[in-house]
Amino acid sequence: MLNTGEKSPEFEAESSLGRVKLSNLRGKKVVLYFYPKSFTPGCTREIQRFVELYDEFKKLNAEVLGVSVDSVETQKRFSEKYGAKFPVVSDKEKKISAAYGVLNDKGTSAQRVTFIIDEKGVIRSVLKNLKKAEDHADLALDELKKL
C-alpha cells in the first residue's frame, strides 16, 4: 500500500460521469477513496456521507473520486441512486487498486482505504482500518483542513 509522501500513480478510467484522468485534477486536492463493492451496506453508508459532505470538500478546492472494481454500469446506478456529484470510477481490471496497493488478499476487490492527495499529486494522508465506513468522509475532510 502506498504511504504518505509518495507520488500518487496516474490513472485514466471510465466513471459514472465519463472518463477521468487523475492528472487533470492537478492544482486541486483529491480525496481518492477505494471501497469493496457498490450497493453493500458499508459502501452505501460511505457514499452517502461523501455526498452529504461534498460541498464542504469543494470549498476546500478538493475533488472526490470513489473507486471500486465494479463495472461502469454498476457505478452509474450506484452514483445515481445516492446522488453523487463526483465521479465513481470503475476499476474492473483492478489496475488502479493494484497501483495503490489496496487489493484485498484474494485480489478480488479493493480494501476500504482513502488517500488524501495534495495539489501536486503527493499523498498527504492515508485512512484505513476505520471502524465505520462512513467515517472515511469525515476524517478525509479533517485531513484536508490541515493542508
Q: What is the predicted pLDDT for the residue at 43?
A: 97
Q: Which residues are catalytic?
A: 43
Asked if residue 123 lies in contact with residue 115, where contact means CB atoms within 8 angstroms, the answer is yes
pTM for the structure as a whole: 0.98
In a 10 Å sphere around its CB, with 0-12 CB exposed, 13-18 middle and 19+ buried, how is residue 23 labelled? exposed
| The C-alpha cell that represents 98 in the structure block | 493494484
Angle between the N-to-C axes of helices 41-59 and 135-146, in degrees from 0 to 180, rounded to the nearest 10: 30
Q: What is the predicted pLDDT for the residue at 1?
A: 95
- Domains in the chain with CATH codes: 12-146 (3.40.30.10)
Q: What is the predicted pLDDT for the residue at 51?
A: 98
Query: In whole angstroms, what is the distance from residue 40 CA to residue 81 CA?
Result: 13
Q: What is the predicted pLDDT for the residue at 105?
A: 94
User: What average pLDDT values come out for the chain (147 residues) when binned by 10 residues?
Assistant: 97 98 97 98 98 98 98 98 98 98 96 98 97 97 96
